[in-house]
Structure 1
Amino acid sequence: MISELSMHWRYTWLVIASLIAGVMNAMAGGGSFLSFPAMLAVGVLPIQANATNTVALWPGQLTSVAALRGDLRRDLLPVVLTASVVGGVTGAIVLLKTRQITFLHMVPWLLLVASLLFGLSGPVSRWLRRRSAEPHTDRRPALVPLFFVLLPVCFYIGYFGAGAGFLIMTALALFGVEEMNALNSLKVLAACTSNFVAVLTFIATGAVMWRYCLISMVFAGAGGYVGAHYSRKMNPNMLRAVVVITGCAMAAYFFWRNG
């Protein structure tokens, strides 16, 4: 009776966490800080939890690419897509070859790093906006060096992924992409593509726990719809602070749990 009641509340938490994760992703990002621990809470092994969470949240990224496709710089698509495919697949394969206990001990560090990345994204985004507002002339970046800079970022996205978006924008900006809409659209495309090939890898290897995945996917989608409706009305700095605090709290919990 106690175990049944406990599992009931774990399922309830998965639903709530997925709903909130969808809202967070639509408003600022960082939904994995809640949905991934919720997968672990219902008893999914760490590797499968990360894979299942990636699959569940990916459809929301696809809709973002569709919305921003008009801002993409066509001359950079080959290098961004190639780095995303190679990095995403490699990251997913390395994840699947990681031992469960090793990944579980990496979880708090991954959450902490992702939280810090979200914290840094605020000042970096403001720098990018100021840079975009200044008069500039578009120039074609050196594609081969850009590929090798994007590759480890896309690897991280395929492996874990949270908080990597602004790293893509920073890399593109340092290589000469200065228009903010182009930066944002290429960031979304790289994240979506890296996660897509990771999703295909996870599905092909049977790493996805579908009964949990479908629950999370449905409620994350509902949360994303709500979040998109209210995102323009919220203070972005406050949203970012909520994401960082949530991520740090989850990291602290897993440090305590693993200790």
Structure 2
Amino acid sequence: MPSYLTTHGHYLWLVAASFIAGVMNALAGGGSFVSFPAMLAVGVPPIQANATNTVAIWPGQLTSLAALKNDLRRDVAWVVVLASIIGGIGGALILLRTREATFLRVLPWMLLAASLIFGVSGRISRWLRGRTEHPHLERKPSVLYVLLALLPVTFYIGYFGAGAGFLIMTVMALFGVEEMHQLNSLKVLGACVSNLAAVFTFIVRGAVVWHYCLVAMVFAGLGGWLGARYARRMNGDVLRVVVVVTGCAVAGWFFYLNSR
């Protein structure tokens, strides 16, 4: 993809987009809808842009996991970790073997799907909370079935990842994990480990553009810190609409580019 900006403009645009993405992730999620296209806009090839963006946003996921570690349900956490390692590495390897032209063709569909998933995630959360209003005896899920159900989700996270967190929550709820804090912590665990597996794969395979990655990492972290301070003051429904509209707009732009 051609670069449309000057050298200094590259960094200014990436700084702004990374900061906005960090704020979005802290407030509602969906920051990749901004940071990933920014990587493309500054001239990073599509596959490397996805890899670089994954590395840049991962530290924020780690800090979220640290905050939620006490909510983890230990009897299923290890299954989530196993599925995340397998799926994260598998998705990352397939991504690196994908032709850029093919990736650009499927990209808008993934963005659109991720946006729609994010859009209904609020209703999914309310449904999951409703399951906890009348708690039942804690059921132990079948390890094999949970693993098989999670693998496609974690594979997608390793390949692209946007919007997949609530799929982890849904899978775990269907297999008997009903407490909302446990579901949320397992969602963060799955996303964090899947992306960590992808991060190691991308680094080993030399797919990360480090001078852009470090800039994005610093300012996404700064935006996340600032967003976290004001998260409780913001209207969650409004933020969700902003994220979904942004994702759909970016998907529409790539549909347009592919049609030219």
2:212 aligned partner: 212
Superposition deviation, residue 7 in structure 1:
3.6
2:32 aligned partner: 32
Residue 59 (str. 1) matches residue 55 (str. 2): no
The one-letter code of the counterpart of 1:255 is: F
The one-letter code of the counterpart of 1:245 is: V
1:256 aligned partner: 256
2:122 aligned partner: 122
The DSSP-based 3-state class of the residue aligned with 1:95 is helix
Superposition deviation, residue 9 in structure 1:
2.6
The one-letter code of the counterpart of 1:80 is: V
Superposition deviation, residue 4 in structure 1:
9.4
Residue 164 (str. 1) matches residue 141 (str. 2): no
Q: Deviations over 1:89-136 (max 9, x none)?
A: 000000000001111122111110110110110111110111122232
2:97 aligned partner: 97
Q: Is the 8 A contact 2:4 2:42 kept in 1?
A: no
Count, aligned residues: 257
Q: Deviations over 1:201-237 (max 9, x none)?
A: 0000000000000000000000000111111121211
Seq. identity, %: 67
Change (3 A) 1:4 1:146: closer
The one-letter code of the counterpart of 1:121 is: S
Residue 80 (str. 1) matches residue 80 (str. 2): yes
Residues 150-229 of structure 1 correspond to what in structure 2 (within 5 A)?
150-229=150-229
- TM-score, normalized by length of structure 2? 0.96
Superposition deviation, residue 59 in structure 1:
0.2
Change (3 A) 1:63 1:106: same
Unpaired stretches in structure 2, ≥5 consecutive residues? none
Residue 112 (str. 1) matches residue 85 (str. 2): no
Superposition deviation, residue 239 in structure 1:
1.1
The DSSP-based 3-state class of the residue aligned with 2:152 is helix
Q: Is the 8 A contact 2:150 2:171 kept in 1?
A: yes
Over aligned residues, Cα RMSD in angstroms?
A: 1.2
Superposition deviation, residue 5 in structure 1:
6.1
The DSSP-based 3-state class of the residue aligned with 2:44 is coil
